């Protein structure tokens, strides 16, 4: 399977605990995105990387959230001191941007998501 | 600020009928892209179709077509000959591209739940 993969698929944790999610993008993709989706809503952008550089962070990404993409391949999203409001689906997506493509086109391929439940 | 509006929280359609899912958007930038994604109960977001703001023709992908009305800032998705497997959440989304901006995020609407009746 050469799609975007995310682990774990489900995570249940107690309030105050730290959790870490992993995303493996499509291998040749140089951009990686994190989104959060709460029940009944569309995904909301959190942050994105181009290669290993984190280029943009949403104001939704509080100080308790940190994302890394150390070698420009897989990425991790860590939430420290989880709160019940962090319960959501966390989606990862990847895309490939090159100078030869139309600048306005950026198809993002999504992974299956990690569903976090904070008790 | 950019915004995507989907006014239909849910729709029921008879199998084999065509269905139109509404989407309006708001942006001040002249260059942008519009997407539709399908999200079945499994949770994965599936890309359906893309329309660039400068594209002269409406995008089509198999049974999916995008009715792009730029002056009205409307980007409705049309699914022809609906199938039971089309039952899912559908999200309209927009990506902005502006010179000097790092805006590569996609902004999603709140979605429309489509249910196909046999």
pLDDT tens digit string along A17-39?
Answer: 999 999 999 998 889 999 999 98
Contact: A93, B111; criterion CB under 8 Å: no
Q: Are B92 and B21 contacting, i.e. CB atoms less than 8 angstroms apart?
A: yes
Q: Can you give the pLDDT at residue A5? A: 95
* Interchain contact B54–A (C-beta under 8 A): yes
Residues of chain A with Cβ-Cβ distance to B54 below 8 Å are 104
Residue among B43, B107, B109 whose CB faces A113 most closely: B43
> CA–CA separation, B24 vs B75, rounded Å?
6
Strands A114-118 and A10-13: parallel
Q: Are A104 and A37 contacting, i.e. CB atoms less than 8 angstroms apart?
A: no
What b/e readout covers B66-85, taking b as 16+ CB neighbours within 10 angstroms? bbbeeeeebbbbbbeebeee
Residue among B32, B50, B53 whose CB faces A107 most closely: B50
- pLDDT averaged over consecutive 10-residue blocks of chain A (119 residues)? 89 97 93 93 91 87 93 94 96 80 65 95
DSSP conformational letter for A86: G
Q: Can you give the pLDDT at residue A119? A: 96
Contact: B104, A113; criterion CB under 8 Å: no
Q: Can you give the pLDDT at residue B2? A: 77
Q: Can you give the pLDDT at residue B97? A: 60
Q: Which DSSP string corresponds to B32-46?
A: EEEEEEEE-TT---E
Q: Can you give the pLDDT at residue B61? A: 92
Q: Are A8 and A114 contacting, i.e. CB atoms less than 8 angstroms apart?
A: yes
Residues of chain B with Cβ-Cβ distance to A102 below 8 Å are 52
pLDDT tens digit string along B32-87?
Answer: 889 999 999 888 899 999 998 888 899 999 999 999 999 999 999 999 999 999 99
DSSP reduced 3-state for B24: strand
* Closest Cα in chain B to A95: B104
pLDDT tens digit string along B9-29?
Answer: 999 999 999 999 999 999 888
Q: Are B21 and B62 contacting, i.e. CB atoms less than 8 angstroms apart?
A: no
Q: Can you give the pLDDT at residue A100? A: 52
Place of tokens 């420290």: A80
* Interchain contact B42–A (C-beta under 8 A): yes
Q: How many CB pairs under 8 A join A and B?
A: 72
Q: Can you give the pLDDT at residue B57? A: 92
């Amino acid at each position: 399977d050469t799609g975007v993969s995310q682990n774990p698929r489900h995570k249940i944790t107690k309030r105050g605990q730290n959790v870490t999610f992993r995303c493996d993008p499509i291998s040749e993709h140089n951009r990686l995105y994190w989104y959060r989706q709460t029940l009944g809503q569309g995904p909301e952008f959190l942050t994105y990387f181009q290669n290993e550089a984190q280029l943009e962070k949403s104001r939704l990404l509080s100080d308790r959230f940190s994302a890394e993409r150390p070698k420009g391949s897989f990425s991790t999203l860590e939430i420290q001191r989880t709160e019940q409001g962090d319960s959501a689906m966390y989606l990862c997506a990847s895309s490939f941007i090159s100078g030869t493509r139309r600048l306005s086109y950026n198809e993002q391929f999504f992974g299956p998501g990690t569903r976090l439940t904070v008790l | 600020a950019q915004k995507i509006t989907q006014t239909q929280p849910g729709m029921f359609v008879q199998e084999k009928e065509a269905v139109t899912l509404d989407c309006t958007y708001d942006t001040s930038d002249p260059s942008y892209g519009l997407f539709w994604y399908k999200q079945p109960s499994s949770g994965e977001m599936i890309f359906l179709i893309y329309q660039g703001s400068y594209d002269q023709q409406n995008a089509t992908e198999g049974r999916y077509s995008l009715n792009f009305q730029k002056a009205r800032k409307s980007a409705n998705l049309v699914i022809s000959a609906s199938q039971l497997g089309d039952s899912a959440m559908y999200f309209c989304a927009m990506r902005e591209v502006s010179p000097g901006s790092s805006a590569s995020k996609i902004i999603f609407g709140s979605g429309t739940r489509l249910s196909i009746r046999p």
